[in-house]
Structure 1
Amino acid sequence: MTEEEQEGPRRSIGARRNPASAEAILEAAEAILAESGPSGFSIEAVARRARAGKPTIYRWWPTRMILLLDVYHRQKGLPRFERTGDLAEELHIFLRELLKRWREGPMGQIFRMIIAEAQTDEETSEALANYLLNRRRDLATLFAEAAARQPSAPRANPELAAEIVSAFAWERLLTGRLDVPDEEIRDVTRIIANGFLRPPPRG
């Protein structure tokens, strides 16, 4: 009898995820993270709670940090991309909420742990890069939509502009300076938005 058969009825369907099993594992991981924090988060604890075999979890999430990254992405506290029609204000809302969530709950600590692990683990690094690519593309839509509203705007790269916003957030996260005054956030987002939308010089 396999470990998966011993631990419960949920079964893997090979490398392709079984949706019911995957959801049970993610729900168990979220519950453990909420109860015990990042220090108490382990594949063993998740497997026991989800009644899933560790081989199944490792097949779908090769490292603890990759599973933690999926759990991080599912958190309801992640900021959304609001549309106000004003790029500087949209960026301000996003950056303010992101820094607040990182500062006031476990999400900042979790993300720092994932970043640290990515420096030495290739699989975690690849998972983090893919996650950040998708988030950066989502943020870039704010820049693309703002450029479409202003025909005189230069043809700047929206994804590159989004990366500048992310760079500010990461620098504050990794240096422990998340308590940023709101006016300072407004200054940063105003500078980025104005620089992106500024018409090219004549001649």
Structure 2
Amino acid sequence: MVNGVPRQKPAPLSTGLGRRSSAGPRRSKAAAEAILDAAEAVLMEAGYAGFTIEQVARRAGAGKPTIYRWWSGKPALLLEIYARQRLDLSGTDTGSLEGDLVALLRRLFRFWGATPAGQAFTAILVEAQHDPAALQALRAFLAERTYPLAEPFDRAARRGELASDFDLATTLDLVSGYVWARLLTRRLDDDDPALPAAARTIARGSLRS
């Protein structure tokens, strides 16, 4: 949810890293990167059910107080894991809304499937269903960023293709529901023949007749 920027695979979970001394109150870039690398590794290897601050601390050789000093809790750590991934949307401008949507969906699903982003965002969505703090953090995270699903509609608007009553916010809710349902049920095959049909349905409801 594709050409993300895969990072070098961390060492196996069983090896761990040498224990680091306390990083103090000021966040150390090197120590923070080591913790994030460890968190990505734990998430990819153990999944959401096995992702705990204890496991991350053990893998990173860091103290739990250090992690909690730099991140308010598991949701904040998961959001930073997601944010450090990079979704590459180059080559998704095809000249038509339907084509753009197909390209974007394929790129997004490949990104979610090939990088820690998919596991991280799945965990965030699950956490947000029962943790008010996680829900608030998720809403703030999304509000601060340009939503990539809006780009095809922005291009269609510049081409003058959208219907006069087109509502971007409602359309993005519909598209988000579709891609999040695919993510949560792990249907991330970027060659799925259903993707063009979904893009066609969305485009037909958005374009001028």
TM-score, normalised to structure 1, is 0.72
Find the aligned partners of 2:69 and 2:116 in 1 and give their Cα distance: 26
Find the aligned partners of 1:152 and 1:119 in 2 and give their Cα distance: 34
Map of 1:160 onto structure 2: 170
Map of 2:187 onto structure 1: 178
Given the alignment of the two structures, is residue 21 of structure 1 paired with residue 34 of structure 2, yes or no? Answer: no
Return closer, same or farther for 1:155/1:18 CA change in 2, 3 Å cut-off.
farther
Structure with greater helix share of residues: 1
Map of 2:147 onto structure 1: 137
The answer to whether the 8 Å contact 1:30/1:71 transfers is yes
Find the aligned partners of 2:188 and 2:20 in 1 and give their Cα distance: 45
Map of 1:80 onto structure 2: 89
Given the alignment of the two structures, is residue 196 of structure 1 paired with residue 206 of structure 2, yes or no? Answer: yes
Matched to 1:66, the amino acid is A
Given the alignment of the two structures, is residue 122 of structure 1 paired with residue 145 of structure 2, yes or no? Answer: no
Aligned residues: 189
Moved beyond 4 Å, runs of 4+? 100-110
Return closer, same or farther for 1:162/1:53 CA change in 2, 3 Å cut-off.
same
Return closer, same or farther for 1:142/1:7 CA change in 2, 3 Å cut-off.
same
Find the aligned partners of 1:72 and 1:98 in 2 and give their Cα distance: 13
Unaligned runs of 5+ in 2: 1-18
The alpha carbon displacement at 1:167 in A equals 1.0
- Helix, strand or coil for the counterpart of 1:12? coil
Find the aligned partners of 2:175 and 2:183 in 1 and give their Cα distance: 13
Return closer, same or farther for 1:59/1:165 CA change in 2, 3 Å cut-off.
same
Which one has the largest radius of gyration?
A: 1
Find the aligned partners of 2:38 and 2:83 in 1 and give their Cα distance: 15
Find the aligned partners of 1:19 and 1:107 in 2 and give their Cα distance: 21
Unaligned runs of 5+ in 1: 1-5
Identity of matched residues, %: 43
| Range that drifts further, 183-192 or 156-165 | 156-165
Q: State the superposition RMSD in angstroms.
A: 3.3
TM-score, normalised to structure 2, is 0.70
Return closer, same or farther for 1:9/1:61 CA change in 2, 3 Å cut-off.
closer
Return closer, same or farther for 1:143/1:124 CA change in 2, 3 Å cut-off.
same
